């Protein structure tokens, strides 16, 4: 959860879902800065960073995120963002356009089907890094590792 967002339940649901889908998950917890996301991605040789925000200020918290990734040598990296990303009743198409202009590869509303997200993530990893980088689906017993900064 980026910025000052402290919604930990959704964060845990995402962690468990993606781990069950076979992805190696490093859960940074809540109220995580852009720099902490980038540091963890570098440390773990991540192929993707998935950012979640539910408190409506994702637009502010995510400004300059792609640029920071590039500055720190994370290029290529897949960037996904989802949740309740802006304050107010903004049509999702407008929200999606804003975040894509910020450099996010994919933008998801709060009610997205997570199976769809997992399938898109596999597709994007395959296209950017090759088939060998794609985790197999539904691999039980995937080791989860909490990042030292995680709550």
**Distance of alpha carbon 93 from the chain centroid:** 19
Check: CB of residue 58 under 8 Å from CB of residue 85: yes
Sign of the four-CA dihedral 40, 149, 136, 114: negative
For the sheet with 48-53, list strands across it. 48-53, 78-83, 106-108
5 is catalytic: yes
- Using CB atoms within 10 A of its CB, is residue 20 exposed (0-12), middle (13-18) or buried (19+)? middle
Cis peptide before 87 (omega within 30 of 0): no
With 0-12 / 13-18 / 19 or more C-beta atoms within 10 angstroms meaning exposed / middle / buried, residue 2 is buried
Note if 61 is an active site residue: no
Please tell me which residue in 5, 61, 105, 124 is annotated as part of the active site: 5
For the annotated catalytic residues, the residue numbers are: 5, 7
């Amino acid at each position: 959860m980026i910025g000052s967002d402290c919604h930990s339940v959704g964060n845990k649901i995402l962690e468990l879902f993606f781990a069950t889908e076979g992805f190696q998950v490093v859960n940074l917890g809540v109220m995580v800065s852009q720099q902490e996301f980038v540091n963890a991605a570098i440390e773990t040789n991540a192929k993707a960073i998935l950012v979640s925000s539910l408190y409506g200020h994702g637009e502010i918290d995510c400004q300059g995120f792609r640029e920071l990734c590039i500055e720190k040598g994370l290029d290529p990296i897949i960037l996904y963002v989802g949740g309740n990303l802006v304050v107010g009743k903004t049509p999702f198409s407008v929200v999606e356009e804003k975040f894509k202009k910020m450099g996010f590869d994919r933008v998801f509303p709060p009610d997205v089907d997570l199976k769809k997200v997992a399938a898109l993530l596999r597709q994007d990893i395959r296209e950017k890094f090759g088939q060998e980088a794609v985790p197999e689906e539904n691999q039980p017993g995937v080791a989860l590792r909490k990042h030292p900064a995680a709550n």
